[in-house]
Amino acid sequence: MTAKHEAALTTAMVALTVTTGMVEAVSFLTLGPVFTAVQTGNTLFLGFAVAGAGGFSAVASTASLVGFAAGALLGARLESGIDVRGRQWFVVALVGESVLLGIAGLVAWEIERLDEPLSSRHYAVAALVALAMGMRSVTTLRASVADLPTTRVTRAMTALFGASPLGLDTKIPSGAGVELRRAASVGAMFAGGLLGAWMLHEAVRPPVVLLVTAACVMAIALGFGFVPRRRAPQPG
């Protein structure tokens, strides 16, 4: 991988992290509360709901978990198949994710407000968004950009503080570039959540936020697709 290609991939991963925050703003504030990318939180929500805690929906959490699992399976099969053929699996995966988010936005079109009672439409949208995020998780796992998983920041935050001059943990890799990626991961997730919540607060309808997010992912895919790739050496 060339330095230019590596830098483009890192930039794409930071931008995708922003879109995760936007997606979760819609999911948490409109569809549940439920998470569709951060399945650690969603698993806890399901446990709370089963225990009878108020304000949590077992149906919404289950829909998200099932959708995420299906997305991970779909992403693994699709991306590995494309990779074997030597094609740009990363770009194709992001285009697929964007299409799924766009479909979720269209299905959510009748959702008008944040405080609407949950319905089958909400559950369907949660499942569709989680499907896209399950595919995203496979994509970022395959991309293997350290400290930029795009769907969680706990590890990046831990490493950022642990390797800092206050933490001085010698087992955690450090360096300007590494710390910059970690800080970018945390900052991008915050920025995405802030942007999504601000849009909803400013009366932008939830389906519109999803469609904007889908457009952002598509733009990231197309932008990365134009980055020159190193050509395989030709046999002499």
| Whether pLDDT at 215 is above 80 | yes
Cα 36 from Cα 29, distance rounded (Å): 12
Segment 1-33, tens digit of pLDDT? 677 888 999 999 999 999 999 999 999 999 999
The residue extents of the domains of the chain are 12-223
Q: Which residue has the higher pLDDT, 86 or 150?
A: 150
Identify the residue with better confidence: 178 or 42.
Answer: 42
* Among the ranges given (51-65, 80-94, 114-128, 207-221), the one the predictor scored with the smallest mean pLDDT: 80-94
pLDDT at residue 173 in the model: 81
Whether 233 shows a pLDDT value over 90: the answer reads no
**Residue 236, pLDDT above cutoff 80:** no
Question: Given this model, what pLDDT does residue 234 score?
Answer: 45
pLDDT on residue 124: 98
Element holding 163 (H helix, E strand): none
3-state secondary structure of 10: helix
| pTM for this prediction | 0.92
pLDDT of 47-99, one tens digit each?
A: 999 999 999 999 999 999 999 999 999 999 999 999 887 678 999 999 999 99
Is 205's pLDDT higher than 60? yes
Say how far apart CA 101 and CA 104 lie, in whole Å: 5
> Distance between CA atoms of 72 and 96, rounded to whole angstroms?
13
Render pLDDT for 153-193 as a digit per residue (tens, 0 to 9). Answer: 988 888 888 988 888 788 888 888 889 999 999 999 999 99
Q: Which of 23, 45, 17, 58 is nearest to 210 (CA)?
A: 23
Distance CA 140, CA 160 (A): 20
pLDDT at 113 over 90: no
Cα(19)–Cα(9) distance, integer angstroms? 15
Q: Which residues are CB-contacts of 202 (< 8 A; sequence separation ≥ 6)?
A: none
pLDDT at 235 over 60: no
* Window from 37-46, 129-138, 176-185 with minimum mean pLDDT: 176-185
